[in-house]
Structure 1
Amino acid sequence: MADPFYLTTAIHYPNGRPHIGHAYETIAADVLARFHRQMGREVRFQTGTDEHGLKMAQKARELGITPRALADEMSGHFRSLFDQLDISYDRFIRTSEDVHHRASQAIWRAMEAKGDLYLDRYEGWYSIRDEAYYDASELTEGEGGEKLSPQGTPVEWTEEETWFFRLSNYQDKLLALYSENPDFIRPASRRNEVLRFVEGGLRDLSVSRTSFDWGVKVPGAENHVMYVWVDALTNYLTGLGYPDATPDMAKFWPADLHLIGKDITRFHTVYWPAFLMSADIPLPKQVFAHGFLLNRGQKESKSLGNVTDPGELAERYGVDVLRYFLLREFSFGQDGSYSAEAIVNRSNSELANSFGNLAQRTLSLIFKNCEAALPEVHRHTDEDNALFTHVDRVIHQEMPAAYADLAFAQALEAWMGAVFACNAYIDAAAPWALKKTDPERMQTVLATLYICIAQLAVAVVPVMPGSMAKLLCAMGIGEDLRSPDAIRSHWYSPLAESDFRLDQPQGLFPRLELPAAEGEGA
């Protein structure tokens, strides 16, 4: 029995509607969840919204509504987007839920019982946008002389009574963690950044606020709310039933992977493991911090007017085209840039012209020349077997290894290589010319292609679940065959000998066109 697999995204801050970065991270997590389910693992996939903090309170005040009303509305937009993008989450968590308040207060009490929390006064620099405290040595100066965080966000001087967490006690323990578990932080560039930060010395962390009340109340100090990151990080436990000893806690914790953006690496790889060590809770196995998604090389911002609605992109180009493009175009972990032209070109060249055309040609030839029945296999040649070997290597070795390593672009590069091999095979064999000269060979060639197309479709189900389900259904491939291992077995002959018949084949990926005015933005 394969081990369970627990995967989380960062929970998304809903002080505005979701943007393309939220879609990017959640699609990547969904592909990983679907891959591990195909491998026979019981997967728990959690995403959601991080609804507390000063930013939410201020935004709600600007709009003349309560923070709760803002959270309800915006969280709904995130859930709707993820449903539109075919995200197969098992739990959509909201930090405003009562069960989450209970979990956050439980981990607070555990840290307090360890002696790691104390009351004092905080004076220092705080970024409302980042919900983060910064040392003066980390700040830079903006064009107008204003002080900025390392993320380029404004900071303000803050003074208030606050509870502190003894982060300084955990420097050596954290360094030992990174040394003993080099894959705890990935990719290596993020690990090196965190190492340098922790080696530079850790100061105790302010973990409560009194200047606003939209958050989780501190147990025994009701005029304090928890620092939003104590509350937010605890969501990974809340979703499994913490603090109760639930079957899900026993089965899925520690998490196998926290998938996050690189801008919140410090919170997940310094603060979070320190909180867990303090509370005597096992640590997650890995944190992977991916890069930013740039619009034509620029970060999206409202001031630049280049903010993209991912739902509109999905409507314009197709959900699966968007999913495929975002994971195919650049290496996961690095920054990547997208544009309308890039999406259209990638979809047309690879999905429409290569794989879509391969499937359409093959199924149409069978429909026309074999009376819609699957062709018989008479004798495989060396060319047939070479193609089988290539496809088998890709879907059983190269793609699983790449998926498991979060190397999505590498997985899809290998997949496309197998698609190209199938296209070269059909062009060389020319089954349309064999009907008169060698009908048995025609049938064997078409059967070979049918088997390979089915295997390639199954292998890319995690990336394009809707399109591949449509194709596999048209090909008579049932749910029980939609895993790499199942589709490797002897399924073709029983299907060919059954009453199954192809319907008139339909195009899978229509060619896309750029709108006439598509010169400015994506």
Structure 2
Amino acid sequence: MSQRFFLTTAIDYVNGRPHLGHAYEKILADVMVRHRRSLGEEVFFLTGVDEHGQKVQQSAQKAGLTSQEFCDQTSALFRDLWARLGLSNDRFVRTTDQPHKDYVRACLQKLYDKGEIYFKEHEGFYSARAEQFVTEKDQVDGVWPEIYGEVVKTKEPNYFFKLAAYQDWLRQYVTDHPEFIFPSFRRNEVLAALENPIGDLCISRPKSRLEWGIPLPFAEDFVTYVWFDALINYVSFADPGLPTDKWPADVHLIGKDILIPAHAVYWPIMLKALGLEQPKQLVVHGWWMNRGAKMSKSVGNVVDPEPYIETFGPDALRYFVMREMSLGQDADFTDEKFIQRYQSDLGNDLGNLVQRSLSMIGRYREGSVPARPAEALTDLDRELESDEPTTLFREAMESKQIHIALQHLWAYLQKANQYVEQSAPWKLAKDPALAPRLDVVLATLAETVRRVAVLTASVLPHTSEKIYAVLNLPVTAESFRLTEAAFGNRLEGKPVQPPTPLFPRIEVEKEEGKKA
């Protein structure tokens, strides 16, 4: 039986359209699971949307829709975008699905029966934007930060989960499991946060104030706090009818803004109290900035991925966000950077190599890949045969340094393009006596192109399939296994199709940002 790899992502809140930040996280997840499949592992990739809560109810009312109608419309935008980007998720989840609601209620009843949930009158400050109660210690210089929006003082009865009772356990768990949070500086932030009292967690909202949520099984006049509901989904959707069959996740992928307290405090303690295992690792990514400024709907600088997909294709966007961001750090998005990567990296380095390599096979060998006798190879040919590019690529991918993996791969592409210039097939074709040498060069280029298709498949799946199509190779589950990146003579004697540009040059206006 092959090794299994289970990855979950944050589920996206449906009170607005998907933007670049949503797209980046899901592309990152897809690249990670595609790489795992290339190693022959059995993969389960879970993603979806978070559909309950006050902001959704308010957005639906503003749009003149029921909450369910609003969720149906908005969740479709996420699902459609993921399909356009070529995500290979095994399941797309919605927290309004009945199996999830049933599972959340079962979890709540279990905790209530154990005495982990209690009822009390609560007075405090409430942030509608964050959909949580806050305290004066959350203020900065006496002012509520922008992330909380309008904060109002409220008094109401609610149900509370005994979060504080597990604080010492959580601090010890994070200390004893240094691999639990990646990158390590995020783990240090969690430990620092746990030095302060965390308090208990209000896990209900009265229906008199909020109707759009999962009713508590032991108090039907209250609905479940959206974070308690949402955090359960990673387990509830793991397998229908048997929620813990695939749990725990090997990787749970989230943005830095929802690490503390939701995923690094609430969630681990909830799992502990329910008797469930912890995910093996929380992988925390940074934010995309727009010309150095944080993207914000209120500022109007949020980048909509749709126009980039429409103009440049999904793989161009996938490549850019993987190449530009070091996982865990912030990165900057500008049209100039995007276009430069498209034209130079994708158009010139990758697209041009494929285009001229296969075009010359068509021109000089009637579209059939010639033989490549081992005894005819020179040191120049053998340089492209080295296993080092595959080794470096794999090592970087498995250390979650995808931008470094792409740097190694593009160094190999540049070497291949240099090989074309140094070998000069167009000159060899002029002298019949050099025909054997021309055969070796053309066969080496064809095999290099095939190898590149294998190595780029996790990041550029559509492009890899296009390359395989012009090479007349079948696309199967085994086509892009990393074992296939070894150099060989798989194409000898086989016809290739006339290539079309993979990344055609596009004239674009000098303007910044296609905004949401």
Shorter-chain TM-score tier:
over 0.9
Cross-structure match for 2:498: 504
Cross-structure match for 1:224: 222
C-alpha displacement at 1:521, in angstroms?
5.6
TM-score, L = length of structure 1? 0.93
Q: Kindly provide the CA deviation profile for residues 392-442 of structure 1, in whole angstroms up to 9, marking residues without a partner as x.
A: 2222x2222222232111111111011011112221121221221521111
Residue 326 (structure 2) pairs with residue 331 (structure 1): yes
Q: Which amino acid aligns with 1:226?
A: T
**In structure 1, which of residues 133, 143, 148 is the aligned counterpart of residue 145 of structure 2?**
148
Residue 458 (structure 2) pairs with residue 462 (structure 1): yes
Spell out the pairing of 1:373-392 with structure 2 (5 A cutoff). 373-378=368-373, 379-389=376-386, 392=387
Q: Which amino acid aligns with 2:194?
A: V
Cross-structure match for 1:451: 447
2 CA distance for matches of 1:505 and 1:202? Answer: 60
Cross-structure match for 2:469: 473
Q: Kindly provide the CA deviation profile for residues 267-325 of structure 1, in whole angstroms up to 9, marking residues without a partner as x.
A: 11111010000000111111111111112222223332323321122102211101100
CA contact (8 A) 2:428 2:437 kept: yes
Cross-structure match for 1:345: 340
- Identity over aligned pairs, percent: 39
Cross-structure match for 1:258: 252
C-alpha displacement at 1:470, in angstroms?
0.6
Q: Which amino acid aligns with 2:443?
A: A
Residue 282 (structure 2) pairs with residue 284 (structure 1): no
1 CA distance for matches of 2:152 and 2:60? Answer: 20
Cross-structure match for 2:154: 158
CA contact (8 A) 1:344 1:513 kept: no
C-alpha displacement at 1:146, in angstroms?
5.2
Alpha-carbon RMSD across the aligned residues, in angstroms, is 1.8
Q: Which amino acid aligns with 2:382?
A: N
CA contact (8 A) 2:50 2:94 kept: yes
C-alpha displacement at 1:152, in angstroms?
5.6
C-alpha displacement at 1:354, in angstroms?
0.8
Q: Which amino acid aligns with 1:164?
A: F
C-alpha displacement at 1:114, in angstroms?
2.9
Label 1:430 to 1:95 Cα distance change in 2 as closer, same or farther (>3 A): same
2 CA distance for matches of 1:134 and 1:189? Answer: 25
CA contact (8 A) 1:125 1:156 kept: yes
Residue 404 (structure 2) pairs with residue 410 (structure 1): yes
Which residues of structure 2 form unaligned runs of 5+? none
Q: Which amino acid aligns with 1:468?
A: S
2 CA distance for matches of 1:276 and 1:76? Answer: 30
Spell out the pairing of 1:479-518 with structure 2 (5 A cutoff). 479=475, 480-488=478-486, 490=488, 492-493=489-490, 495-497=491-493, 500-515=494-509, 518=511
Which residues of structure 1 form unaligned runs of 5+? none
2 CA distance for matches of 1:473 and 1:262? Answer: 40
Using the TM superposition, name which of 361-370 and 436-445 deviates more: 436-445
Which secondary structure does the structure 1 equivalent of 2:129 belong to? coil
1 CA distance for matches of 2:402 and 2:339? Answer: 19
Q: Which amino acid aligns with 2:271?
A: L
C-alpha displacement at 1:132, in angstroms?
3.0
Cross-structure match for 1:181: 177
Q: Which amino acid aligns with 1:380?
A: L
CA contact (8 A) 2:304 2:514 kept: no
Which secondary structure does the structure 2 equivalent of 1:462 belong to? coil
CA contact (8 A) 2:472 2:497 kept: no
2 CA distance for matches of 1:412 and 1:475? Answer: 23
2 CA distance for matches of 1:420 and 1:309? Answer: 32
Spell out the pairing of 1:94-113 with structure 2 (5 A cutoff). 94-113=94-113
Question: Which aligned segments of 4 or more residues in structure 1 are displaced greater than 4 angstroms?
Answer: 519-522
CA contact (8 A) 1:481 1:487 kept: no
2 CA distance for matches of 1:264 and 1:342? Answer: 28
TM-score, L = length of structure 2? 0.94
CA contact (8 A) 1:114 1:278 kept: no
2 CA distance for matches of 1:481 and 1:303? Answer: 46
CA contact (8 A) 1:111 1:275 kept: no
Using the TM superposition, name which of 233-242 and 354-363 deviates more: 233-242
**In structure 2, which of residues 356, 367, 373 is the aligned counterpart of residue 361 of structure 1?**
356
Q: Kindly provide the CA deviation profile for residues 91-145 of structure 1, in whole angstroms up to 9, marking residues without a partner as x.
A: 110101111111111221222233211111222233222223333212125xxx8
C-alpha displacement at 1:513, in angstroms?
2.5
Cross-structure match for 1:87: 87
1 CA distance for matches of 2:279 and 2:135? Answer: 27
1 CA distance for matches of 2:513 and 2:310? Answer: 19
2 CA distance for matches of 1:189 and 1:351? Answer: 33
**In structure 1, which of residues 266, 282, 306 is the aligned counterpart of residue 301 of structure 2?**
306
Cross-structure match for 1:203: 199
Label 1:388 to 1:308 Cα distance change in 2 as closer, same or farther (>3 A): same
2 CA distance for matches of 1:375 and 1:393? Answer: 25
2 CA distance for matches of 1:285 and 1:122? Answer: 35
Using the TM superposition, name which of 43-52 and 154-163 deviates more: 154-163
Label 1:502 to 1:241 Cα distance change in 2 as closer, same or farther (>3 A): closer
Label 1:198 to 1:157 Cα distance change in 2 as closer, same or farther (>3 A): same
Label 1:92 to 1:269 Cα distance change in 2 as closer, same or farther (>3 A): same
Q: Which amino acid aligns with 1:217?
A: P
2 CA distance for matches of 1:463 and 1:375? Answer: 30
Q: Kindly provide the CA deviation profile for residues 134-177 of structure 1, in whole angstroms up to 9, marking residues without a partner as x.
A: 33212125xxx85236x464432232111111111111111121
Which secondary structure does the structure 2 equivalent of 1:281 belong to? coil
C-alpha displacement at 1:361, in angstroms?
1.2
1 CA distance for matches of 2:213 and 2:408? Answer: 47
Which secondary structure does the structure 1 equivalent of 2:293 belong to? coil
Label 1:159 to 1:34 Cα distance change in 2 as closer, same or farther (>3 A): same
CA contact (8 A) 2:372 2:492 kept: no
Q: Which amino acid aligns with 2:380?
A: E
2 CA distance for matches of 1:133 and 1:394? Answer: 52
2 CA distance for matches of 1:159 and 1:440? Answer: 86
Spell out the pairing of 1:14-25 with structure 2 (5 A cutoff). 14-25=14-25
Which secondary structure does the structure 2 equivalent of 1:199 belong to? coil
Q: How many residues align?
A: 506
C-alpha displacement at 1:51, in angstroms?
0.5
Q: Which amino acid aligns with 2:355?
A: Q
Cross-structure match for 1:39: 39
2 CA distance for matches of 1:17 and 1:205? Answer: 29
**In structure 1, which of residues 188, 193, 199 is the aligned counterpart of residue 189 of structure 2?**
193
Q: Which amino acid aligns with 2:499?
A: P
2 CA distance for matches of 1:113 and 1:280? Answer: 14
CA contact (8 A) 1:110 1:278 kept: no
Q: Which amino acid aligns with 1:401?
A: E
Q: Which amino acid aligns with 1:148?
A: P
